[in-house]
Amino acid sequence: MAKELPAAEDSCVVRMKGISKAFPGVLALDGVDFELRAGEVHALVGENGAGKSTLSKILTGVYTKDAGEIQVRGQSVEIQTPLDAQRLGIRIIHQEFNLINNMTIMENMFLETLGNRPWGLVPYGWMRRRAQEVLQWLGLDVSPDTLVRELSVAEQQMVEIAAALSKDADVIIMDEPTAALTDAEVERLFELIRRLRDQGTAIVYISHKLEEVMAIADRATVLRDGRLVGTKPIAELTRDEIVQMMVGRPLRTMYVRTRKPDQELVLEVENLTVPGKVKGVSLTAHKGEVVGLTGLMGAGQHDVLRALFGALSATGGTIRLRGREVVIRSPWDAIRNGIGLLTENRKEEGLVLPLSVMFNISLSSMDKITRLGVIAHGRERGQAEHYVQQLRIRTPDVEQQVEYLSGGNQQKVVLAKWLATEPEIILMSEPTRGIDVGAKAEVYRLIDELAAQGKVIILVSSELPEIINLSDRIYVMYEGRVAAELDATQTSQEEIGMYGTGGYTR
């Protein structure tokens, strides 16, 4: 990539001074300073809504700043479009996928090449070889000609990373790059980050996983409520100190357990089968119980939830609710039987982002707010305000567009949507993915409260501490089957890992 500016005398590649940005009803950034040096990994941390993603999107031309100055290699620049940022050697791996589902991995990695070839001649041979090289480096065993829509969420995240790494960049911004990766994939990514750092690349690492920040970063900048709290070398910080800077107070307790499951059997699943995904899975859940479902990426745990919700077609198996056999062929069947699903990808499958908090909460419970087919707006507003208060959703008003809320508050809106249907069983797929440590504690509290009310929670999570500390029982899956049923109070991450990799047999 051609660089438009000469190198500065010091090692500072990027300086952002007094950056401010406002959205309707929200001051996202208020006079923030940030600097990035060549050959460093600089963590940018804070709660959801602190301004991390907004700052990175200003640097990459997705948003334009309202005030402040940006310097790249010592010279003041105006970055008004993503193309401006790319010309300056700045690339971003977005938290939200930026892929075209009906195009191949290779085409997604080289979109600029497709759009800028003279006479329409596209170097597919070179693109395929380069794509294969990057995919192999990342350990993603798929063909470059695979359509993106055929990939899992984790595989799509790896393609996002591959697309950024295939370009020549001085600055790479990674916004929650490990959200859908396994431990082995995270370590592979860290090896690549260290190699890039040693080559002089400057990396902005945005993550809610503070263990990762402590392991990979050289410095950390903490934002809170759109303001700069401070920047320090990571060697001078502890995890607890970072948390206190983020939330403005010590966070003493993450996991809460006030309930005790009932003996009343609510859900029985026998020999559930989805071709190529789920192979004869059986499980049970009792009133007020949190049942964990975990395994390696692609082991089938997410597919079990989708099949129980009717979003995947099962070809075999029996589902019984309180002893009564039910047939679930669609999500509406599931909703009518008191089942709700928090999907792992809330922005694409759980919310209508341009519409209001009130509309999103009402989306699955229209029958409760309509009279003779007409929406009773007073009832709709009252319902939304009730859940905003109950779940402590931070929003200026129930009319606020959901896209302007933080990730943690968006997740609460999805939960409110299902609570409005008055479900008995709530299926949760990665409920804390992409949300900060403070918001995680809130979600954990809500899970405990819902179970204490007698609701059944089926929890899928790739974070083993989360599974162990929230669940009463845990089912570990391996290659589409249940490898083990474990008592959460008696197991360990190591035991779950052994079952999840096929190391133990039942």
What pLDDT is attached to residue 415? 87
Helices 407-419 and 437-452: crossing angle, nearest 10°? Answer: 20
Q: What are the contacts of 244-248 at 24+ separation with CB within 8 A?
A: 246/45, 246/46, 246/47, 246/50, 246/222, 246/436, 246/437, 246/438, 247/47, 247/437, 247/438, 248/224
Residue 365 banded pLDDT, cuts 50, 70, 90: confident
- How do residues 312-356 score in pLDDT, each as one tens digit? 999 999 999 999 999 999 999 999 999 999 887 777 788 888 999
The percentage of residues in the chain with a pLDDT greater than 70, rounded to a whole number, is 92
What pLDDT is attached to residue 6? 40
Alpha helices in 16-147 (DSSP H): 52-59, 82-87, 105-109, 111-115, 124-138
What pLDDT is attached to residue 104? 92
Say yes or no to pLDDT of 283 above 90: yes
Number of separate helices (H) and strands (E) present in the chain: 17, 22
What pLDDT is attached to residue 220? 97
Contacts of 407 by beta carbon, 8 Å cutoff, 6+ apart? 48, 434, 435, 436, 439
- How do residues 411-434 score in pLDDT, each as one tens digit? 889 888 888 888 999 999 988 877
Amino acid in position 335: I
- Of 80-89, 333-342, 389-398, the poorest mean pLDDT is in 389-398
Say yes or no to pLDDT of 275 above 60: yes
- Residues forming a β-bridge with 459: 292, 428
Domains of the chain: 9-89+171-176+197-247 (3.40.50.300), 265-500 (3.40.50.300)
Say yes or no to pLDDT of 19 above 50: yes
What pLDDT is attached to residue 280? 95
Residue 5 banded pLDDT, cuts 50, 70, 90: very low
Report the alpha-carbon distance of residue 460 to residue 463 in Å, rounded.
Answer: 9
CB 60 within 8 Å of CB 85: yes
CB 354 within 8 Å of CB 400: no
- How do residues 27-84 score in pLDDT, each as one tens digit? 889 999 999 999 999 999 987 778 888 999 999 999 999 999 999 999 999 999 998 9
Residue 250 banded pLDDT, cuts 50, 70, 90: low
- How do residues 437-453 score in pLDDT, each as one tens digit? 777 888 888 899 899 99
- Residues forming a β-bridge with 203: 41, 172
pTM: predicted TM-score of the whole model, two decimal places:
0.63
Say yes or no to pLDDT of 8 above 50: no
Instruction: Name the average pLDDT for the chain.
Output: 86
Helices 153-165 and 124-138: crossing angle, nearest 10°? Answer: 120
